[in-house]
């Protein structure tokens, strides 16, 4: 899965998206802070490949993108919008293929601009990046080639506080950054920087009115941060091999960035530091039980704006913890829902 699969909807309910066989499932709270409903299939009975990209707009709507098999050895991208997690999502809409025909070319990424339009990015068969976006009056525009070379299939899309969409990617020895110069415009390659990036570890977050930040693990197992216009900096040693989850939250009156990562011992590790002040340093604090191999973690804020963490095991077991109503980053006991 790519993107924030753990979300708070516009009605305050928390929900998670997960993959099961050839479908996407959703579980949601019955009400803010209440019990959780069983998982339900999203988007109708369309058969899907086991891949999912999730993006959420300022309106709280979730945009889901996956690949579906079409004819033997070929696939196409599909999109669904989920307005509220306790309601049925729209049926999957075919988006086509960046090369018109062919099999899957990479895990897609999706971000939603201030006007509620989804932008879908995916590696293309030439090793660059292609994108297509929703039109202002409905429907989708054509695939557009954003260029790039030897780009790794794992992309990180993000919407800045400006409401404009940005994209991060990595290629051997380099990071790449695309951004929209104005709302609705095609993102353009804005900056590249040399960096020994470990593929599959990119995670982007809007961190100020002017900037987004990219978190990634380098080849020395350091968790690094890059904001375009600056040099990448090493924040701390990565807790584990996978990507981090990240969210901004207030801690004791300070705007902080909270990170979570599945550590090498299988537990969830948390670290926090003042947003965009990497020089202040950060350190990991483990939490919860040891999780099965393949588990993932994500972060959200609930209807009271408290941080909530969720871990999801390949079996579908979902564990959740919330920040306690006290100073610091004390968490409740993890519980299965």
Q: What does the domain layout of the chain look like in residue ranges?
A: 239-337
Determine the length of the chain.
Answer: 337
**Helix, strand, or coil here: 209?**
coil
- Give the Cα separation of 187 and 177 in Å (integer): 9
Q: What is the pTM of this model?
A: 0.96
| Tokens 């939490």 -> residue | 287
For the chain, 337 residues long, give each residue's pLDDT as a single digit of tens.
999 999 999 999 999 999 998 999 999 999 998 899 999 999 999 999 999 999 999 999 999 999 999 999 999 999 999 999 989 999 999 999 999 999 999 999 999 999 999 999 999 999 999 999 999 888 999 999 999 999 999 999 999 999 999 999 999 999 999 999 998 899 999 999 999 999 999 999 999 999 999 999 999 999 999 999 999 999 999 999 989 999 999 999 999 999 999 999 999 999 999 999 999 999 999 999 999 999 999 999 999 999 999 999 999 999 999 999 888 889 999 999 9
Distance CA 302, CA 217 (A): 28
Q: How many whole angstroms separate alpha carbon 189 and alpha carbon 180?
A: 9
């Amino acid at each position: 899965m790519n993107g924030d699969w753990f979300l708070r909807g516009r009605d305050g309910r928390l929900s998670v998206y997960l993959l099961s066989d050839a479908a996407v499932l959703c579980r949601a709270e019955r009400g803010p802070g209440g019990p959780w409903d069983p998982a339900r299939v999203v988007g109708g009975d369309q058969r899907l490949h086991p891949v999912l990209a999730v993006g959420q707009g300022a309106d709280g709507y979730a945009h889901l993108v996956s690949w579906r098999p079409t004819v033997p050895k070929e696939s196409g991208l599909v999109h669904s919008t989920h307005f509220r997690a306790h309601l049925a999502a729209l049926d999957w809409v075919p988006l086509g293929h960046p090369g018109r025909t062919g099999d899957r070319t990479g895990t897609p990424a999706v971000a939603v601009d201030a006007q509620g339009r989804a932008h879908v990015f995916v590696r293309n068969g030439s090793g660059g990046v292609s994108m297509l976006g929703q039109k202002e009056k409905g429907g989708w525009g054509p695939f557009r080639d954003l260029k790039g070379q030897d780009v790794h299939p794992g992309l990180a899309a993000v919407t800045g506080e400006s409401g404009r969409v940005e994209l991060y990617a990595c290629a051997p020895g380099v990071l790449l950054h695309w951004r929209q110069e104005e709302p609705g415009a095609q993102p353009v390659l804005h900056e590249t920087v040399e960096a020994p990036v470990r593929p599959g570890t990119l995670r982007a977050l809007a961190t100020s009115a002017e900037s987004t930040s990219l978190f990634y693990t380098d080849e020395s197992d350091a968790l690094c941060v890059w904001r375009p216009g600056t040099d990448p900096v090493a924040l701390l040693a990565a807790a584990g091999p996978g990507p981090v989850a990240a969210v901004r939250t207030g801690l004791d009156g300070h705007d902080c960035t909270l990170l979570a990562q599945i550590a090498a011992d299988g537990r969830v590790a948390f670290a926090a530091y003042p947003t965009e002040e990497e020089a202040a340093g950060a350190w990991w604090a483990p939490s919860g039980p040891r999780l099965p191999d393949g588990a993932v973690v994500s972060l959200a804020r609930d209807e009271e704006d408290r941080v909530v963490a969720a871990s999801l095991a390949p079996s579908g077991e979902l564990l959740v913890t919330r920040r306690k109503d006290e100073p610091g980053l004390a968490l409740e006991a993890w519980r299965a829902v």
